[in-house]
Amino acid sequence: MLEKERTRTMLARCFLAFPAALFLAACQPQTAQEDPPGEPGPPSVEGAWNLVGLELVSADGEVTQVPTYENLVLFQNGYYSMAFSRGDHRSPFFAQRWGATEEEQLDRWSLIIVNSGTYEMTESELITHPLFALVPEFVGGTARHEYAVTEDEFVLTVTGIVSADGIENPQFTDGSTWVYRMERMD
């Protein structure tokens, strides 16, 4: 019984700490980079983004739209944070506020994707390096994405995900991928 209470306390702290971490990341000052005179730079990925479309694309090109609800994607000063829940409606409140049962926790968390860390970009690729993730083996791993960005739209196409110990995510070994379609919030 003590172990269950300790687990509940730890999970409650995670629920409270994650929004605070997102808030602090969003409030960091922006540093403007100036382009050489007469040469406008490419649109930046920095800022807050709303995930408006999530697609699972199979190896044979079949596209499955995956509804999302409650999301926030941030890129700022070399750091990123991505949090969203799958589904077409908000999850119901826990029966006992702030005292979720194990079943309620599993139901909710099975729909959530969360990872935060650092990122780097080339002309054609955005690479994330998670420092925190709900999937433990992703922390210290990498995710590679092709990307396209305009002033108001940002599309990431996953090209590979590898765990901290070098194991490729089997979901992508057959040529399947995820496509994230986002709109600028700020």
CA 176 to each of CA 61, 91, 104, 173: distance values in angstroms, whole numbers, following the listed order: 8, 28, 31, 7
Residue in 146, 148, 157, 159 with CA at minimum distance from that of residue 180? 157
At 49, the amino acid letter reads W
Domain membership of residue 131 as a residue range:
46-92+100-184
Return the pLDDT at 186: 78
65 lies in a domain? yes
Q: Is 18 exposed, middle or buried (0-12, 13-18, 19+ CB in 10 A)?
A: middle
* CA–CA dist 55, 161 (Å, integer): 16
Q: What is the pLDDT of residue 114?
A: 96
In a domain, 158, yes or no: yes
Q: What is the pLDDT of residues 54-101, one digit of tens each?
A: 999 999 999 999 999 899 999 999 999 999 999 888 888 999 999 999
Residue 2 lies in a domain: no
Tokens 């940002």 belong to 154
Q: Is a pLDDT exceeding 80 seen at residue 136? A: yes
The answer to whether residue 40 sits within a structural domain is: no
10 falls within a domain:
no
Count CB neighbours of 31 within 10 A: 8
Average of per-residue pLDDT across 166-175: 92
Query: How many domains does the chain divide into?
Result: 1
Q: So what's the pLDDT on residue 2? A: 52
- Condensed to tens digits (0 to 9), the pLDDT of residues 90-127 reads 888 999 999 999 999 999 988 999 999 999 999 999 99
* CA 21/CA 153 separation, integer angstroms: 25
Which CATH number is 180's domain given? Answer: 2.40.128.280
